[in-house]
Amino acid sequence: MIESHSLLSEDTIFTPEQILDNRGRVAIFIDGSNLFYAALQLGIEIDYTKLLCKLTSGSRLFRSFFYTGVDRSNEKQQGFLLWMRRNGYRVIAKDLVQLPDGSKKANLDVEIAVDLVALVDYYDTAVVVSGDGDLAYAADAASYRGARIEVVSLRSMTSDSLINVADRYIDLEMVKDDIRKIPRGSQPAYGYRPIAELGSPASLSAEA
């Protein structure tokens, strides 16, 4: 009995390689606005090709979803979203709604939550790129149906309730150099920026 306990205490920690080997099919769910403000806090611009490679990490990709509010009249944003659709992302867009204070917002928490649960039979690991605590219940529901949950976000903007239901948490601070865009004169200047800022980054910090 002592031998068994000793083995459990010493050998139950998986190496990063073992974790990646057991991910199976991966589905990625990116909260575009949350990621933008995280990148703003980090002082970087995201390279979405590098991001997809980093989040997939050699595993089999089922699909990568990018959720964002849109202004249909903004040509630059439309160009960016077209690029995303042609480079590995399934874009789920919702028109921005003007609020009484004059700001504009499009909340896609429901869309992310529904997809997390509705598609659970088609993936083994869900990578949730968001710090929003409103997604914790859906992530937990997916985990109870057998999915592994990974959360990727900036720690200062992440709800404890979301981290608590995750099997693995990755702080964007730790991987920022792997997903940073390196400016090149020949590259298209497509960068994600929500139309009509939703407020200060602090206002997007999820409540624990």
Residue 97 pLDDT level (bands cut at 50, 70, 90):
confident
Average pLDDT (19-43) is 90
Range of weakest confidence among 53-62, 112-121, 199-208? 199-208
Average pLDDT (39-44) is 94
Q: Are 109 and 184 in contact (CB under 8 A)?
A: no
Average pLDDT (162-166) is 97
What is the tens place of the pLDDT at every residue in 54-78? 999 989 999 999 999 988 888 898 9
Predicted pLDDT of residue 75 = 87
pLDDT for 81 beyond 70: yes
Instruction: Map out the domains of the chain as residue ranges.
Output: 26-100+107-181
pTM of the complete model: 0.80
Q: Domain 26-100+107-181 carries which CATH code?
A: 3.40.50.1010
The rounded distance, in Å, linking the Cα atoms of 130 and 13 is 26
User: Which residue is listed with tokens 């490679």?
Assistant: 53
For the chain, what's the residue count? 208
